[in-house]
Chain A
């Protein structure tokens, strides 16, 4: 194995990690505020890709327009999901809402199968995205740069929103103490809706990056990556945004290094490797790398 090969794998790992990061942040935000692991999150990602394809094929809209409209449609689905499946269960036990999210996931996957069939559909991105750029010894596709760039921009914007804006302040208050936040006059429905909107938008973006790179979409596309992103959020310490981003990069890089370094007949075990790695990390850090020790909350 050469250093170049290793670095190439590392770069692929970073690309994969940034896709996971976009998804993981959505998990972490919703968990932070609702203590809900939203298993339908990955399906929003898939749905975003289908929206994009449908808009491209049926309306023949340009790439950028389809992306923007698909993000908006994904946000709408996220909001409907919150309104219909989670809000009525606001005061129910956490497990109840969890089960509701599994139901939403199943419903969305079946809806996508009904509308677009279970067949893989090709995702054609503009040619310039697939251009392979030679940089020194490396060959990097333009979409990799776009993936890094979009992820970095999205995470920076999100950080600014959370740190500086009124709604960000309200989000932090809700995630620390929902009851106290309500008593401060914070409209928690608005905060929760905003959280789902941002999470869905990021998931849709992740979907574009993922499917654009793989060149295909199918109804269960979101399942495995979102499960890994969920692992990333858990490894990082679920609820901590920075932690989940770091967890996402750890998982993305570990996964690509594993795939690149083991003999070819073992590369199919990369998913198993990721989940095993998560178990090992949690054995040593039960609250994740950045998770707070429980008991600090009143």
Chain B
């Protein structure tokens, strides 16, 4: 579904992503794991076309999307849940969801997607008249996910969904992501929380200083000594 070939991104003189290649297949859940500053968010922003890439190609369903603008990427069915949630804090929860449906013109579909999201996270239904800024971090994360689902994406990109969340909230978010994945949404996830990410996904890539240093089935990586030492804090 998604294929990245030899992607390079530079900021000024710094090479943030140094020639990575990866693939995400239909209906898979794949994660990109790495420390802060490894280039994970940059990779995601390159896919969403929020920044200019230096070289490389990005394909989606076989189509070259490397030079498409951000709005066309969303139109293709690739929607990102950004780092730090980035909900519209001054707008109501409901208006946030409507904003997520900006490209969807079918009113019935918008309503159905809104219902779908609110069924996944019942707390969002309770909060729907509230200003998004008044929600807790976890609730904002749920809202950000619901908002991303408003255009029925084929591929959901998530940037650190567990960041700043309590373990309980993290579990709830991952439970919903699993449901979504089982229902057919392909997921590409970025995490520092390697354990959660590996538990959740089918396959994973480990990124260090802009390069992919290790890849494989998540279950295998969970037992890999290098991964355990570097990302799972030894004994897990």
Interface residues, chain A, with chain B CB atoms under 8 Å away = 166, 169-170, 172-173, 176-177, 179-189, 296-298
Contact = CB atoms under 8 A, between A and B. Distances in A.
B184 interface: no
Given A298-B84, A298-B86, A183 B74 contact: yes
B84 to A, nearest CB: 6
**Cβ-closest 3 pairs across A and B:** A185-B74, A180-B86, A185-B103
Nearest to B80: A183
Contacts of B75: 185
A179 B82 contact: yes
B232 interface: no
B91 interface: yes
Interface residues of B, number: 28
Contact of B70 (A173, A183, A297): A183
A183 B82 contact: yes
Nearest to A183: B80
A185 B82 contact: no
Contact of A179 (B50, B90, B148, B151): B50
A183 B79 CA distance: 7
Contacts of A181: 99
Contacts of A186: 71, 102
B102 A185 contact: yes
Contact of B90 (A176, A183, A188): A176
Contacts of B90: 176, 296
B102 A180 contact: no
Given A172-B91, A183-B86, 14 more contacts: A173-B99, A177-B86, A177-B88, A177-B89, A179-B50, A179-B82, A181-B99, A184-B102, A185-B73, A185-B74, A189-B69, A296-B133, A298-B86, A298-B89
B88 A176 contact: yes
A43 to B, nearest CB: 30
Given A185-B71, A185-B74, A296 B89 contact: yes
B100 interface: yes
B50 A184 contact: no
Contact of A184 (B69, B74, B89, B133): B74
B89 A187 contact: no
B69 A169 contact: no
Contacts of A184: 74, 99-100, 102-103, 147
27 contacts: A169-B102, A170-B102, A173-B99, A176-B88, A176-B90, A176-B91, A177-B86, A177-B89, A179-B82, A179-B86, A180-B82, A180-B86, A181-B99, A182-B70, A183-B70, A183-B74, A185-B70, A185-B71, A185-B74, A185-B79, A185-B103, A185-B151, A186-B102, A189-B69, A296-B90, A298-B86, A298-B89
B49 to A, nearest CB: 8
